[in-house]
Amino acid sequence: MNIISWNVRGAGKDRCASTIKELTKAYAIDVFAILEPQISGPRALNVAQSLGFSHYHIVDASGFSGGVWLLWNENSVSLQVVAHSSQSITALVTLRNHRWLLTIVYANPCPGIREALWKYFDGLIEASNLPWLVLGDFNDIVSVDEKCEGNLDQGGKKFVEWIDRNHLVDLGFSGAKFTWCNKRNAEGIISKRLDSGLCSIDWHLLFPEAHLLHLPRVNSDYCPILVRLDSKHYPNRANVPFRFQATCGCLILISRNLLRTFGVLVMVMLCTDQLGSWLLLAFGISRFLGVYL
């Protein structure tokens, strides 16, 4: 099962819909979460219906702020939305005879409203004993290492407290260090890891090979984040033989993707992802530097 969460900063923008379709095809996506669509009402419905998924659930944006969309294909995943708020959508997923909760989050930039979300999640966790994965834009960081400069503010401390009291596990990531950049020049640039995946301990035990990738940033100041529940693309390093001649495989991967019918931007993303797999196979390198466009 493959899941993407992406803060698109405007689902009505040129090329946004085509990029979502290309990502869905390139990464065989079963569930796609769209954050900050910045459109609502009939226009939001029209865009959601055009993206090629059989089902969707929409929490409308408030003007140009917020909004969460959850899209999925019924033929590849059994998913039922069981709760939603202004900042999240929660669904019951049945996969391989296991039931668990998936929550997609777009946390409000205002610390007070964001803190109310943590309390809402406390109640959600207390009411359910199911394994839980929460994924998306938390608009917060857990340490100063997750931003390019500065200190951890009071909002971040509340976020850390919420994670700790619920014993949540960070899935970690492969790829570029930060998920958001303000796109300013070198003197005023700010970057943070605002997007992540957190899970309960029992969810982590259920899917021990799950991993999260930061895909290259395109058409937004946020990069999409991809969660894969299996490790078929990232095998265990201990089982991989040393291959001195593996550098030729790099050129083969690139040439294969050049012949595909994806758009150029997604072709670059796909090459980036597969080269990450190649680096792990050939040299045991588990982090691949993302490409910024």
pLDDT at 265: 59
pLDDT of residue 162: 96
Q: Which residue has the tokens 């803190």?
A: 115
Domains of the chain: 2-236 (3.60.10.10)
Comparing CA positions, the residue from 204, 195, 209, 198 lying closest to residue 290 is 195
pLDDT recorded at residue 123: 95
pLDDT attached to residue 264: 58
**What does the pLDDT look like over 27-74, one tens digit per residue?**
999 999 999 998 999 999 999 999 999 999 999 987 778 899 999 999
> In angstroms, what CA-CA distances link 185 with 7, 150, 181, 190, 217?
22, 18, 11, 9, 16
State pTM to two decimals: 0.78
Residue 106: beta bridge partners? 137
pLDDT of amino acid 189? 82
For residue 259, what pLDDT is reported?
A: 47
- Angle at which helix 16-26 crosses helix 264-283, to 10 degrees, equals 30
pLDDT of residue 103: 98
Question: How far is residue 183's CA from residue 177's CA, in Å, rounded to a whole number?
Answer: 15
226-247 per-position pLDDT tens digit: 999 986 644 344 333 333 333 4
Q: What local confidence, expressed as pLDDT, does residue 63 receive?
A: 72
H, E, C per residue of 222-257: ECCEEEECCCCCCCCHHHCCCCCCCHHHHHHHHHHH
Helix axes 247-258, 264-283, angle to 10 degrees: 160
Neighbouring residues of 292: CB distance < 8 A, sequence distance ≥ 6 = 176, 181, 216, 217
The ranges of the chain with pLDDT < 70 are 149-155, 184-187, 231-293
Residue 84 backbone phi and psi in degrees, to 5: -155, 155
HEC letters along the chain:
CEEEEEECCCCCCCCHHHHHHHHHHHCCCCEEEEECCCCCHHHHHHHHHCCCCCEEEEECCECCECCEEEEECCCCCEEEEEEEECCEEEEEEEECCEEEEEEEEECCCCHHHHHHHHHHHHHHHHHCCCCEEEEEECCCCCCHHHECCCCCCHHHHHHHHHHHHCCCEECCCECCCCCEECCCCCCCCCEECCEEEEECHHHHHHCCCCEEEECCCCCCCECCEEEECCCCCCCCHHHCCCCCCCHHHHHHHHHHHHCCCCCHHHHHHHHHHHHHHHHHHHHCCCCCCCCCC
What pLDDT is recorded for position 247? 42
Tokens found for residue 39: 């459109």
